[in-house]
Amino acid sequence: EIVLTQSPGTLSLSPGERATLSCRASQSVSSSYLAWYQQKPGQAPRLLIYGASSRATGIPDRFSGSGSGTDFTLTISRLEPEDFAVYYCQQYGSSPPHTFGQGTKLEIK
């Protein structure tokens, strides 16, 4: 089973700053199979990025994804107030087909 480890656990930043969130896999993951989600309190997760770098429909271009192999990054170029949330990376693989990282909480400093 591929384990995804996200860092940091909590990231404290101010609106307007740049956020960099990391997702490290225990084994190599095809970049085609790496996704990122945003979850706000009391809401379902929302797909942000798939294929490591492709933005989902309606996602602002301040969100970008990159990486390959075992190291992937979600970058938010300039934080808006609505971006403060928990972010999860997720990989699609063989057994099990899906695993999630433990999440990074992005909080207002």
Partner 1 sequence: QVQLQESGPGLVKPSETLSLTCTVSGGSISSYYWSWIRQPPGKGLEWIGYIYYSGSTNYNPSLKSRVTISVDTSKNQFSLKLSSVTAADTAVYYCARDRVFGAGYYYYGMDVWGQGTTVTVSS
What SS3 state is found at 31? helix
Binding site for partner 1 (CB under 8 A): 1, 32-33, 35, 37, 39, 43-47, 49-51, 54, 56-57, 88, 90, 92, 95-103
Q: Is the distance from CB of 98 to CB of 89 less than 8 angstroms?
A: no
Closer residue to partner 1, CB minimum distance, 14 or 95: 95
- The dihedral built from the CA positions of residue 45, 51, 56 and 61, taken in this order, carries a sign that is positive
Closest CA to 10 of 87, 89, 74, 69: 87
Amino acid identity at 35:
A
Closer residue to partner 1, CB minimum distance, 15 or 51: 51
Question: Minimum CB separation from partner 1 for residue 107, in Å?
Answer: 15
Question: Minimum CB separation from partner 1 for residue 86, in Å?
Answer: 8
Closer residue to partner 1, CB minimum distance, 15 or 69: 69
Give the integer Cα–Cα distance in Å for 49 and 56: 6
Closer residue to partner 1, CB minimum distance, 51 or 69: 51
Question: Minimum CB separation from partner 1 for residue 71, in Å?
Answer: 19
